[in-house]
């Protein structure tokens, strides 16, 4: 099964009451990990035509808050519909169990013993300053955290988070995550159902 773990960075001057409107965002970079090659790579907006064939051959997309943010935003640039590719949103999986959202930083620190390399708001500033390579590097590190959390959950059946002073386990049902039988067939943008 070929899984693409991914994250995007975006910019916008529009934030309404602390909520980021996906429709007001402009994509800056997409970073991925390809389970088939084991490689991490990044794609600026002008490079997206090179990314589409990789995503189209994926059995599953893995992200963090990807069903609510990354996929809808990326879909605005894709000539087809990425919703036809099976997705696994780690934030949604955590929210199913806890009934609330947990930040990637909190999960990574408690589960992996390391956190993010920066803040998403800084990535927007770096982009505006023309520091594109730093944005791509930051995005790749978020993909690395997401992939490592996915692997940890597969191996241990849990993720961890810090709740006040205590580190708590989140029991995650990963039984269907790596099964090709539940994967949807790879699509191309020619099939825009």
Query: Which residues are within 8 A (CB) of 4 and not within 5 positions of it... i.e. 6 or more apart?
Result: 32, 33, 34, 35, 54, 55, 58, 60, 61, 62
pLDDT of residue 13: 63
pLDDT band at residue 115, thresholds of 50, 70 and 90? confident
Name the percent of the chain lying above pLDDT 90. 75
Residue 42 pLDDT > 50:
yes
Whether the Cβ atoms of residue 55 and residue 83 lie closer than 8 Å to each other: no
CA–CA separation, 76 and 69 (whole Å):
11
CA torsion 39-62-18-107 (nearest 10°) is -80
Query: Which residues are within 8 A (CB) of 125 and not within 5 positions of it... i.e. 6 or more apart?
Result: none
Whether the Cβ atoms of residue 4 and residue 54 lie closer than 8 Å to each other: yes
Over residues 20-34, mean pLDDT: 88
pLDDT of residue 181: 45
Helices 132-156 and 90-98, axial angle in degrees (round to 10) = 50
The answer to whether the pTM exceeds 0.85 is yes
Q: Which of 104, 109, 105 is nearest to 89 (CA)?
A: 104
**Domains present along the chain, CATH in parentheses:** 3-175 (3.30.420.10)
pLDDT digits (tens, 9 = 90+) for 121-143: 688 888 989 999 999 999 999 99
Look up residue 143 and give its two tokens.
Answer: 């993909």
Mean of pLDDT over the chain:
89
What is the Rg, in whole angstroms, of the alpha carbon atoms belonging to the chain?
Answer: 16
């Amino acid at each position: 099964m070929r899984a693409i773990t991914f994250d995007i960075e975006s910019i916008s001057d529009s934030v309404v009451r602390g909520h980021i409107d996906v429709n007001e965002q402009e994509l800056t970079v997409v970073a991925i990990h390809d389970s088939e090659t084991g490689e991490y790579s990044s794609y600026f907006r002008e490079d997206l035509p090179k990314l589409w064939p990789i995503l189209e051959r994926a059995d599953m997309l893995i992200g963090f808050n990807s069903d609510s943010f990354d996929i809808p935003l990326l879909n605005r640039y894709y000539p087809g519909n990425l919703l036809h590719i099976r997705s696994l949103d780690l934030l949604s999986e955590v929210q199913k169990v806890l009934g609330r959202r947990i930040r990637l930083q909190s999960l990574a620190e408690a589960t992996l013993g390391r956190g993010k390399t920066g803040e998403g708001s800084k990535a927007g500033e770096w982009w505006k300053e023309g520091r594109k390579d730093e944005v791509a590097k930051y995005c790749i590190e978020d993909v690395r955290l997401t992939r490592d959390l996915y692997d940890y959950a597969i191996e241990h059946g849990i993720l961890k988070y810090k709740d006040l002073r205590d580190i708590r386990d989140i029991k995650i049902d990963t039984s269907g995550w790596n099964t090709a039988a539940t994967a949807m067939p790879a699509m191309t943008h020619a099939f825009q159902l």
